[in-house]
Amino acid sequence: MVRIAVMEDFDRINELRKQVNALHVQGRPDHFRAGWKEELQNHAKEMIEAGNKDILVAERNGVICGYACVDYINLPESPYRYARQFYHVSEFGVDKTFHRQGVATELVEFMKTQAKEKGFSGIELDVWEFNPEARAFYEAGGFECIRRYMEMKL
């Protein structure tokens, strides 16, 4: 079952977010700070309470085993681009003990339904190169690369 999170889910969501944060720290320690600071934890409260974003949670037998933080983006037209509205996934994670049990797929299916209901024509997200499992999952699920963000270390 997938649903929109409520404040009572806050602690469990942060347990999962901490796992994802640790993966990012391990993958890019030059970008991500180690530790699970209060500001990071409180960011989940802000997302739950915000009007233009939600946290989705997937449950198995009453246990939250996956989550996705989603933003509903409305960009006005500018000299550089047309106006755009899109459904954006800013965070996504499944508890390690629930990997390969369909949780991530259920979250994506819920997002597809919700995005359509809200009038969006697509879902966007980004994924780090150090995470080949996530890249493979998204590609297998129908996501396509639309641009690359590159760096040159000096």
The pLDDT of residue 67 is 97
Other CB atoms closer than 10 Å to residue 88's CB: what's the count?
17
The bridge status of strand 63-75 relative to strand 53-60 is antiparallel
Note the pLDDT tens digit of each residue in 26-80.
999 999 999 888 888 888 888 888 888 999 999 999 999 999 999 999 999 999 9
d(CA 36, CA 29): 14
Query: What domain count does the chain have?
Result: 1
Evaluate whether residue 145 is within a structural domain: no
Q: What is the pLDDT of residues 97-130, one digit of tens each?
A: 999 999 999 999 999 999 999 999 899 999 999 9
* Residue 11 identity (one-letter amino acid): D
CATH number, domain at 115?
3.40.630.30
- Closest listed residue to residue 2, CA positions, set 77, 113, 141, 139: 113
Q: What are the structure tokens assigned to 115, written together? A: 């995005």
The pTM of this model reads 0.92
The backbone torsions φ and ψ at residue 29, rounded to the nearest 5 degrees and listed phi first, read -65, -15
In a domain, residue 88? The reply is yes
